[in-house]
Amino acid sequence: MAPKIHTIEVDEATAVALRGRADAQGLSVSELVAGMTAITGTPVALSSADLAELDRHWASVKSGESTVPHEEVATWLQTWGTPAFKPRRDQ
């Protein structure tokens, strides 16, 4: 039995963004949204080493060490899910 299909309305900017991200990944918009929905429903498991690294980073921010400018982070986030993506530490 085929799954029931639903139509969801979004504004033009969201539709363009979804189409662009789906195209970049070689997916349909439906596949992209299904994948995004699955990811948001899955708890993230962090190791104690990952948590310790986050704690070190937060302590350095609180102590006044420099951070990455917002524009650089925003540009990097736009590469997520695309072939251009590189982990931040590889930048």
What digits encode the pLDDT tens for the residues 31-74? 999 888 887 777 878 899 999 999 999 999 999 998 889 999 99
Q: What is the dihedral of CA 44, 49, 53, 59, to 10 degrees?
A: 100
Q: What is the arithmetic mean of pLDDT over 16-43?
A: 89
Q: Is 2 helix (H, G, I), strand (E, B) or coil?
A: coil
**Alpha carbons 15 and 12: distance in angstroms, whole number:** 5
State the pTM of this model.
Answer: 0.45
